[in-house]
Structure 1
Amino acid sequence: MKKLINSPDTVITDALRGMSAAHPGLTVDVENRVISRAQRASDKVGLVSGGGSGHEPLHGGYVGHGMLDAAVPGEIYTSPVPDQIIAATKAANADRGVLHIVKNYTGDVLNFQMAAELAEDEGIDVVSVIMNDDVAVEDSTHTAGRRGTGATIVAEKVAGAAAEEGADLETVARIATEVNERSRSFGIALHAGTVPSAGRPGFELADDEVELGVGIHGEPGRERGTFGPARDLVSYALDAIHADLSISDEVLLILNGQGATPLIELYGAFAEASAWLGGHGAAMVRSLVGNYITSLDQAGFSITVTSLTDELRRLWDAPVSTPALRWGV
């Protein structure tokens, strides 16, 4: 294993120290592992999200104006603990309630639920929205029901924009829920990622194999498939999404890298996705290409498609200023 780290034991701590040094607009509590806005937002609904580390820039990279107020990174591929989540909830609280955006993984759901109950005991109104947009499998080693993946970014962005506009907690939660209902995702792995403490890839693929429907922790997908051209792999992913929720009208498409796929390949895959959408009568009116929710150094890609409404498109376009997303400011 060759990684740009000091030690497997200090990967997260060192990364948080780096975030603190690189982004003065953030307050990074390295010891307690809470990332929040340096200037606390006032008179707005607070947004908190989090999950296991290894998916950067998710979630800490989305803390800032127009998105999250605080984020909590757990251990690699492991949920943050309730004490972290409570601390982040308090940091985000401006007395108008706090929305928790939670990916549907068992540890995340349980720990965020426990933290929400404890926060309620302290007088903080908390609503949780569970993201479960991955169509690959119904249940997995980490979940009951579908996994939460790329739609989480969309929910954080549009719900964050609504909160900045002064929407109340019920409205902000409704918007995040609508994103989940109107979004579907699917991922394909070419090579597994390596957890630093393990020192070896999380699973093995033969030279002519891919994992179809892989999870963001390297969980198995639907099946092992045969490696082929980008056109075929992209079509497989979009066909799976389309079979679950018809892709039509105006959509946001995210072509996401999993950590080790270079942009030249991601843009090539995006060209195939764009052609697929055009051939199926959908209008791609918004898009992202790049690494937005990764799996350490896993090679491959995921696709997220969100069917937009006028409201969702307006909120997506609203100004945002975070380490990982920035426009309109």
Structure 2
Amino acid sequence: MKKLINNPQHVVDEMIEGYVKAYPEYIKQRNENKRSLVTSRQTPDNKVGVLIGGGSGHEPAFMGYIGDGFADGVAVGNIFASPPPDPILETTKAIDKGTGVIYLYGNYAGDIMNFDMAAELADLEEDIRVETVLVTDDVASVAKGGEDQRRGIAGGFFVFKAAGAAAAKGLPLSEVVRIAKKANSHTRTMGVALSPCSLPQTGEPSFELGESEMEIGLGIHGEPGVERGKVQTANDVADRLLKDILHDMPLEQGERVAVLVNGLGSTSRMELYLMFRRIEQQLNQKQITIHRSYVGDYITSLEMGGCSLTLMKLDDELADIVDYPADCPMFVQK
């Protein structure tokens, strides 16, 4: 599987270097740790710091969401691997404005271990208060009733945005945490994979699918899904993803949602818009209003083929949070 790379062992650091050079008005690299990235803009005193992060390979996540109204800092791990505690702690120190820092990341064992360790060090060594909200939006990963055990996938985009908006509004840490948890509890995602990706170090596919196969519910690191079968039409796939989400998070007539149709890395915009077209038709038929829609690559899996559907159920508070302006290299909303 072909890639435009140099030394496979240096790909993450070279990617970060290229990204920082491309967007110096948004982002800078900490001299103390090259995997610690922070906003290059001045943030207000007493603002809650918003720190997101995780493994590389999900671009534009997570670096792409440093900016106004979103994240203040990112800790970057190796491909599909948690960042170690050092860059997390360095980022925490850099973005703390005296009112604490919120950590937001997907519910994976490695991330939990390393972010928790960094939070303990921030408290003991730097007297920085840290609170954590895990993203747990993947409906396919754990059955209904075990929501707190689910993986975090593309719904992290909405949770990160919610926390970023709340912090930008000047809310205290307790409120930023409450809103982020609320956003997470109102968010559900289902995905479909059509083809694997390959790690630069190996060049081998991350999993195997037959020429005419697809897999419902496959994770963004290649974790097993819930059903494998023949490739179906865009309408049929959209119907299936939406059905599973609405079974898990029922919506009534007149309710509002934010919709994200997220590409996994190599899926064309044409296909993503076909998916959104069907989702809009189905929600309109159910008299559910799409308050805002997002279509494109937001949280990917290298060059994996396929997409995911995310719905966030909105009330007035979350609608206001979704509407809040943001200005990042990979996402601008006015």
Please give the TM-score of this superposition, normalised by the length of structure 2: 0.94
Distance 1:6 1:251 in 2: 43
Q: How many residues align?
A: 325
Q: Single out whichever of 2-11 and 292-301 deviates more from structure 2.
A: 2-11
Counterpart amino acid of residue 323 in structure 1: P
> 2:38 matched to which residue of 1?
36
1:54 aligned to 53, 57, 63, which one? Answer: 57
Shift in Å, 1:73: 1.2
> 1:109 matched to which residue of 2?
112
Counterpart amino acid of residue 20 in structure 2: S
Distance 2:168 2:14 in 1: 31
Shift in Å, 1:14: 1.4
Shift in Å, 1:225: 2.2
Shift in Å, 1:189: 0.3
> 2:91 matched to which residue of 1?
88
Shift in Å, 1:29: 3.8
Counterpart amino acid of residue 296 in structure 1: L
List structure 1 runs of 4+ shifted beyond 3 angstroms.
none
Q: Single out whichever of 295-304 and 222-231 deviates more from structure 2.
A: 222-231
Q: Deviations over 1:295-317 (max 9, x none)?
A: 00000000110001111111211
**Residue 286 in 1 paired to residue 286 in 2?**
no
Q: Which runs of 5+ in 1 are unaligned?
A: none
1:300 aligned to 291, 302, 306, which one? Answer: 306
Distance 2:177 2:293 in 1: 23
2:225 aligned to 205, 221, 224, which one? Answer: 221
Q: Give secondary structure in 1 for the equivalent of 2:189.
A: strand
> 1:244 matched to which residue of 2?
248
Shift in Å, 1:281: 2.5
Distance 1:152 1:266 in 2: 19
> 1:311 matched to which residue of 2?
317
Shift in Å, 1:93: 0.3
Give the alignment of 1:121-270 within 5 angstroms. 121=124, 122-138=126-142, 145-248=149-252, 249-270=255-276
CA RMSD of aligned residues (A): 1.5
Q: Deviations over 1:241-262 (max 9, x none)?
A: 1111113410000000000001
Counterpart amino acid of residue 28 in structure 1: Q
Distance 1:247 1:208 in 2: 33
Conserved 8 A contact 1:151-1:179: no
> 2:6 matched to which residue of 1?
6
> 1:99 matched to which residue of 2?
102
Q: Single out whichever of 205-214 and 275-284 deviates more from structure 2.
A: 275-284
Shift in Å, 1:285: 1.2
Identity %: 41
Distance 2:105 2:42 in 1: 22
Distance 2:319 2:131 in 1: 23
